[in-house]
């Protein structure tokens, strides 16, 4: 592990999981959609008609607040492809103008 790599990990916030007791109906809808897109992504890996990887990425984004492993993978992806993360944040800012990271 290099010094630069350990510095970037120390700056990232610790992954957290939403507790079951704190969940609202929106959390249940988000989990349901995440599972739906995950299953659609698995089917898309086998069927030539569907784009499986796209649906798997959507499910990872939807399920990230509920899984520490997915949060770590998304952070790793952001470190590897920072320009994609910047564009995704710009799109999210347009869709949620009142919400800040």
More confident residue, 92 or 83: 83
How do residues 47-87 score in pLDDT, each as one tens digit? 988 888 889 888 888 888 888 887 888 888 889 988 888 88
pTM: predicted TM-score of the whole model, two decimal places = 0.58
pLDDT surpassing 90 at residue 33: yes
Q: pLDDT above 70 covers what percent of the chain?
A: 73
The whole-number pLDDT of residue 36 equals: 95
Q: What is the mean pLDDT of residues 8-20?
A: 60
User: SS3 for 41-63, per residue?
Assistant: HHHHHHCCCCCHHHHHHHHHHHH
Q: What is the mean pLDDT of residues 93-97?
A: 71
The whole-number pLDDT of residue 11 equals: 57
Name the residue among 91, 87, 61 with its Cα closest to residue 73. 61
């Amino acid at each position: 592990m290099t010094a630069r790599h350990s510095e970037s990990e120390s700056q990232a916030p610790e992954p957290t999981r939403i507790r079951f007791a704190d969940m609202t109906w929106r959390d249940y809808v988000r989990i349901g959609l995440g599972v739906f897109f995950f299953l659609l992504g698995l089917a898309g890996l086998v069927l030539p008609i569907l784009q499986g990887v796209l649906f798997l990425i959507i499910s990872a984004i939807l399920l990230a607040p509920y899984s520490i492993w997915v949060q770590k993978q998304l952070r790793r992806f952001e470190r590897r492809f920072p320009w994609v993360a910047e564009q995704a944040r710009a799109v999210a800012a347009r869709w949620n103008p009142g919400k800040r990271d």
